[in-house]
Structure 1
Amino acid sequence: MSLHKKLWIAIIVLLLLVFSGSFLVSTVSAKSYLEQQISMKNADNAAALALSLTQQGADDILLELTLSAQFDTGFYELIELRDPEGKLKILRQDEQPIDQAPSWFVTAFEINVDAGIATVQSGWQQVGTLTLRSHSKFAYERLWQSAQMLALIFLVAMLISGFLGGQVLKRILKPLDDVVEQAQAIGNRRFITIPEPSTLEFKQVVSAMNEMSARIKHVLGQEAKRLQKWQREAHVDKVTGLNNREPFMKSVDAALESDDVNATGSLTLLRITGLARMNQLFGRAAMDGVLSEVGNELNRIVMSHSRWAACRLNGSDFAILAPRAMDPNEAAQQMQDGIRQVLEARSMDEGILLPAATTIYAHGDTIGSIMTRLDGALLANEREGESSISVAFEGDIQMQPVRQQMEEWREILEQSFRDQNFLLDYFPLVGLENELIHYEAMVRLKWQGEKLSAGQFLPWVNRLEISSELDKHVVDLALRSIETTGYPTAINLSVAAVVEPGFVSWIGERFTAKSAAAKNLWIEIPEAMAFRHIQNFKSLCKRVKASGCKIGIEHVGHQLSDLGNLSDVGLDYLKIDASFVRDIENNSANQTLLRTLCTVGHSIGVKVYAEGVRTEQEWQTMLEIGADGATGPGISLTE
């Protein structure tokens, strides 16, 4: 029972006790007063009537007529006259029951009065003794009316007091509602702070909870900075601030094996020719400054796009991985322009060439084949002595213009939505004991007898800006699947689920209609999108978690400095990006990084899973590090 109800019950009981006491005291006092007054009236009436009878000569007939007339007035319960020897001479008595008040009231408050007694004489001779008792029905009637009036006054007073008390109670308990909301948020791993109320007891509780939330935020922020520092030391070139070759190539490998919107994009190589000559001419320190500015410019380019990554492959070669970039010239042109601006600002552009080679990669390509065609195109470009951009195609195949491809894919996707050609493929995520945690549901497209992977059509869905429509379709597919199988199912949503205001309302309505299935649904948002639109992401988390759905972030590891923003989100899990899991058993730096990430996640009650696990060695290493589960080509669910 809630405190609010208990307080109301206490108030009602207290008011009832007050009323009962007041009613009892008032009624008993009124009863005593009436008894006293009736007793005095009986004595006075008996004396007056006896005197009247004495003056009439005490004739028996006249006595009887007078007493009968007096009794017939209806005010008396008993009138009797006895002779001096005690023999009854005249008796008039009303034996009808009292109906002016309820029987229970008459029984509870019985009125006992003394009868009036007087002597009737004839001269000096005593005729008899007169006994008179007024009827108590009038007293009961008056007493009952008084009790009713008292109850009515109490009822009105209780209603008024209840209204005023309700307002006061609401005002007093308002801080308690905030405390309860904060406690529930902390229980859901949302470490929020609220203003301290003026009520001393509530203030002490809120102060303690705020202190705990602030401490967790502080610790999380510190750990995020430490993770970022370790990541930079292990993965980042100290001069340029760009990724080193090894982590960059692992990112490329993970993109090629991914099954989402990042499975298709472009990869660009650019070479600064004459860098060795510039080192001799301007000095190493000056050139380190130039390279640092080049790194800042390339980082600026990739930071404006989700999941793009820049790298310094060697002394003079730079690369950009651009997932979802369907125009191979897009990233290459930005690289050339950015580096040229840096050199021109330093007046070092004379005699410097910036040849570049770019290519489109797709799901299923290999790093070897991509790098071979890029190296060949870059070498040919450099031999020509120009700062041009060469597009390296696979074999002799020339790609169609992007606009033409977009129109073709628009027709394919529009028809697929009409014909319900999308379906889900399922891959298990297993826990520490090889138990099923959930199935990852990857969207597929049936087209002309083939089943296309997500990496083949998602980039075009993204480019055609129909991601929200596909997200809704995937949610419906997953809910229907859960209703059929009962298995917990995870789906990947795009940035549209975060940035489009109508999506939160839509998914709330869906979850309300299918509340049972929603409790077995897991939703994942890419790390870059979650942190870029953190407030919208929090709104989505709040809505879906209200329906019992679990929510997490996938591809984690590239923005570790932003982990401090997760203290009040209420996440259920994180999924480590596959690029950090690649050959983890041989990479001590990544082991340290991920071990700390697991510790940080567990400290705020968040599960940490690994993506893209390919080998048993990787899985065992992730178990040692502290991961709670894994998914990938090397993971299978055994019965």
Structure 2
Amino acid sequence: MSLKTQLWIAVAILMLLSLLVSIGVSTVSARNYLAQQLHLKNVDNAASLALSLTQLPKDDAIVELALAAQFDTGHYRLIRLTNPRGEVMQERTNFVDPEGVPGWFVRLMAFDIEPGVAHITDGWSQFGALTVESQTSYAYESLWEGTRQLALIFAGGVILIGLLGTLLLRRTVRPLDAVVQQAEAIGNRRFITVAEPATREFRRVVVAMNALSGRVRTMLEQEARRLEQFQRDAHVDKISGLLNRDPFLRMLDTTLQADDENAAGLLVLVRINGLADLNVAYGRKAIDGLLADMGAALNAIVGDQSGWGASRLNGSDFALLAPRAMEPQRVASEAQQALRGVLEQHSMDAGITLPCAATIFTHGATVSSLLTRLDAALQAADRQGGSTIRIAHADDADATPVHEQMERWRDILAQAFAEGSFSLATFPVVDLQGRLIHLEAPVRLRWEGETLAAGHFLPWIHRLEMSSELDRQVVDLALGLIGAQGRPVGINLSVDALLDPNFPSWLGRRCAAAPDAARQLWLELPEAMAFRHLDRFAHLCSEAKAFECRIGIEHFGHQVSEIGRLHDIGLDYLKADASFVRSVEKNPANQTLLRTLCTIGHSIGVIVIAEGVRTDEERQALETLGLDGVTGPGVVDYR
């Protein structure tokens, strides 16, 4: 029960008790007053009637007539005349029940009134004693009517006071709403801060919780900066600021094995012919500055795109990885022009050529085949002379114009949506004891008797802007799978789930229709998209967590400097990118990165899962680093 409800109940009880006490006191006071007046009336009437009878002849008929006349003209319950021996000579009675008065009220407020007694004389001798009791039914009726009116007046006053009290209580405890929201947010691992209320007790609580949130945010920012610096030292070339060769090749390998829209794209190589001569002519310090500016130019290209990367493979060869891109000539020309622009800025472009090679890769290709293909194309461009761009094709399909491929895939996907040809595959995500955390469920497409992996068709889904429609189908498929198997299922959403303003409300309606399944639904988005659209991501998290869905970020670890921004999102899990997991048992740098990432994740109450685990050696190494779960080709058994 909420504090506001308890306060209101306490106030209501106090007001009800005040009402009952007030009515009780007023009614008892009125009862006592009426009893006193009835007693005085009994005494006065008895004395007046006795005096009248004393002056009359003591004939029985005359006395009877006098008593009857007095009884009929007054409101009496009893008039009794007794002789000196106590024998009843005359008696008139009229015991009338009060009209419209509940019996319980009569019993509760019963009058105990002394009758009026007076003596009648006949000369010097006593004739008899007269007893008079006034009628009480009118008193009960008057007392009941007064009590009822008083109760109505008091009840109206209580309602009015209650309304005013409610407004005052609402205003007084209004800061409590913010306190409750903050407490609930912290319980959901969202370390938010709120304005300090004026109420002293509330302010002390808010100050303490704001301090907690501030410490968490500061800790995340400090750890993120430290982790970013370590990552740069371990993975980034100190001169150019680009990825070193080994981290870049691991990133390329992970991309080629991805089961999402990043599984197809471009790889570009650019060679700076004459760099050694420039080093001799201008000196190492000047060339280091040149290389730093070149790295900045390439990083500017890849920084605007999710999953892109650039590397200095050796002294004069630069590589650019561009998932989802399908225009090799344009991307290669952009990279070439970026490097040419830096050379011109430094006035070192004379006699320098930039031969370039680009190739399209698809899901399942190997790093060695791509590099072999590009090396041959780059040598051919170099032999041709100048800054030639050569496009290397693996087969005739790669040489098909992009617009023709798009039209073909548009027809395939339109038919697939119409016929419901999409399904979900399932792969286990397990904890360190081999227990199932959830089933990772990438989407599959049934086409012409084959089941296509997501990496084959998701790039085209993305290019044809059908991602939002596919997201909805995947959610429905996942809820159905949960209902059928009763096990938690995790699905990947595209960036359109964030950009489509209608998707969160649509997701809420779907979850409301299947609340039990929604509690076992795990939703995840790529790291780059979550950070790029953080406000929309937070909104989606809020909508999903209202139905107890789990929210996570996949492919995590490339933007560790941004991790401090996650303190108020309410995440449930992070999935470390597979590029950091490749042969982690032999890579101290990635071991340190993953260990620190686990520490940071656990500090905000999220679990950390490793993607792309392939070998038992990787799995054993990850267990020692503190990760909570693993998934990948090497994870097949669970319980």
Give the TM-score, by structure 2 length. 0.97
CA distance in 2, matches of 1:270, 1:573: 39
- Residue-by-residue CA offset, 1:526-573 (whole Å, 9 max, x unaligned): 001000000000111111111121111000111000101110111111
Structure 1 segment 520-559 matched on structure 2, within 5 A? 520-559=520-559
The one-character-per-residue Cα deviations of 1:189-234 (angstroms, maximum 9, x if unpaired) are: 1111111211111111111111111111110111111110000000
Match of 1:486 in 2: 486
Q: Could you tell me whether the CA contact under 8 Å between 2:95 and 2:135 is conserved in 1?
A: no
AA in 2 matched with 1:535: D
Is the contact between residue 320 and residue 331 of structure 1 (CA under 8 Å) also seen in structure 2?
Answer: no
One-letter identity of the residue aligned with 1:51:
L
CA drift of 1:401 comes to 0.8
Give the corresponding residue for 1:345. Answer: 345
Structure 1 letter corresponding to 2:299? N
Asked whether the equivalents of residues 100 and 137 of structure 1 are also in contact (C-alpha less than 8 Å), the reply is: no
2-side partners of 1:228 and 1:240: how far apart?
17
Q: Which residue of 1 aligns with 2:245?
A: 245
Q: Aligned in 2, Cα 1:428/1:100: closer, same or farther, shift over 3 Å?
A: closer
Structure 2 counterpart of 1:447: 447
User: 1:616, 1:69 → 2: CA distance?
Assistant: 118
Alignment map for 1:93-492 (pairs within 5 Å): 93-99=93-99, 101-394=101-394, 399-492=399-492
> Which residue of structure 2 lines up, in the alignment, with residue 614 of structure 1?
614
| Corresponding residue of 2:566 | 566
CA distance in 2, matches of 1:183, 1:198: 18
Check the 8 A contact 2:19/2:155 in 1, yes or no: no
Contact 1:474–1:491 under 8 Å retained in 2: yes
Deviates more, 1:99-108 or 1:369-378: 99-108
Identity across matched positions, percent: 54
The 1-side partners of 2:152 and 2:626 are apart by 70
CA-to-partner distance for each residue in 1:280-305, whole Å, 9 max, x for gaps? 22221111111111111110000111
SS of 2:425's equivalent? strand
Tell me, yes or no, if the aligned pair for 1:601 and 1:607 is still in contact at 8 Å.
yes
The DSSP-based 3-state class of the residue aligned with 1:193 is coil
Is residue 589 of structure 2 the alignment partner of residue 602 of structure 1? no
Q: Give per-residue Cα distances to partners, 1:219-276, cap 9 Å, x unaligned.
A: 0111111110000000011111111111001001111111111111110000111111
Shift of 1:124: 4.2
**Cα deviations by residue, 1:32-81 (Å, 9 ceiling, x for unpaired):** 22222222222222222222223333333211101011112351112122
Decide whether the 8 Å contact of 2:98 with 2:138 is kept in 1.
Answer: no
Please report how far the alpha carbon of residue 367 of structure 1 lies from its aligned counterpart in structure 2 after TM superposition.
1.1
Partner Cα separation in structure 1 for residue 265 and residue 578 of structure 2: 17
> 1:164 & 1:570 partners in 2: Cα distance?
38
Q: Which moved more, 1:533-542 or 1:339-348?
A: 339-348
Q: Kindly indicate whether the alpha-carbon contact (under 8 Å) linking 2:360 and 2:398 is maintained by their aligned counterparts in 1.
A: no
> Secondary structure of 2:314's match?
coil
Give the Cα separation in 1 of the matches to 2:37 and 2:95: 22
- Could you tell me how far apart the structure 1 residues matched to 2:638 and 2:20 are? 72
The number of residue pairs the alignment matches comes to 639
Aligned: 1:47 with 2:47: yes
Q: 1:626 and 1:355 mapped to 2: Cα distance?
A: 46
Question: Any idea what SS the aligned residue of 1:128 has?
Answer: strand
CA distance in 1, matches of 2:43, 2:629: 100
Which deviates further from its counterpart, 301-310 or 32-41? 32-41
Q: Say whether the 8 Å CA contact 1:522–1:552 is kept in structure 2.
A: yes
The alignment partner of 1:198 has SS state of: coil
Q: CA deviation at 1:96?
A: 4.2
1:323 Cα deviation (Å)? Answer: 0.4
- 1:596 aligned partner, one-letter code: T
Say if 1:8 and 1:390 are closer, same or farther in 2 by CA, change over 3 A: same
Looking at structure 1, the residues matched to 629 and 320 of structure 2 have their Cα atoms a distance apart, in angstroms, of 31
Which is worse superposed, 333-342 or 134-143?
A: 134-143
CA contact (8 A) 1:436 1:637 kept: no
- Name the CA distance, whole Å, in 2 between partners of 1:482 and 1:86: 97
Checking the alignment, whether the CA contact within 8 Å between 2:194 and 2:210 is kept in structure 1 is: yes
Q: Distance in 2 between matches of 1:447 and 1:132?
A: 110
- The answer (yes or no) to whether the contact 1:309–1:320 under 8 Å persists in 2 is yes
- The letter of the residue matching 1:8 is W
Partner of 1:577: 577
Q: Using a 3 Å threshold, how does the CA distance of structure 1 residues 442 and 111 change in structure 2: closer, same or farther?
A: same
TM-score, length-normalised on structure 1? 0.97
For the residue of structure 2 that corresponds to 1:491, the secondary structure is: strand
Q: CA contact under 8 A between 1:58 and 1:121: conserved in structure 2? A: no
Give 3-state SS (helix, strand or coil) of 2:160's partner. helix
Contact map agreement 2:430 2:638 (CA 8 A) in 1: no
Q: Give the C-alpha shift of residue 88 in structure 1.
A: 2.6
Find the residue that maps to 2:191 and give its secondary structure: coil
Whole-angstrom distance in 2 between the partners of 1:223 and 1:372:
40
CA distance in 1, matches of 2:201, 2:79: 70
Are the structure 2 counterparts of residues 34 and 609 from structure 1 closer, same or farther at C-alpha, using a change threshold of 3 Å?
same
Distance 1:239 1:154 in 2: 85
Of 192-201 and 92-101, deviating more is: 92-101
The amino acid across from 1:408 in the alignment is R
Aligned-pair distance for 1:397? 6.4
Query: C-alpha separation between the residues in 2 aligned to 1:398 and 1:212?
Result: 56
> Mean Cα displacement is larger for which, 184-193 or 110-119?
110-119
1:5 Cα offset (Å): 2.8
How far residue 29 of structure 1 moved from its aligned partner, in angstroms, is: 1.6
Residue by residue over 1:419-471, the C-alpha shift from the partner in whole angstroms, topping out at 9 and shown as x without a partner, is: 21112211111111111111111111122222221111111111111111111
1:100 and 1:316, CA in 2 relative to 1: closer, same or farther beyond 3 A? closer
- Aligned AA (1:14): L
- Segments of 5+ residues of structure 2 without an aligned counterpart are none
1:15 maps to 15
Structure 1, unmatched stretches of 5+, are: none
Which piece of structure 1 moves more, 363-372 or 294-303?
363-372
- Whether the 8 Å CA contact 1:576–1:611 is kept in 2: the answer is yes
Distance 1:267 1:98 in 2: 103
Report deviation, 1:174.
2.0
Cα deviation digits, residues 389-432 of structure 1 (max 9, x gap): 10011267651111111111111111111121112211111111
Measured at CA, do residues 535 and 638 of structure 1 come closer, stay the same or move farther in structure 2, by a change above 3 Å?
A: closer
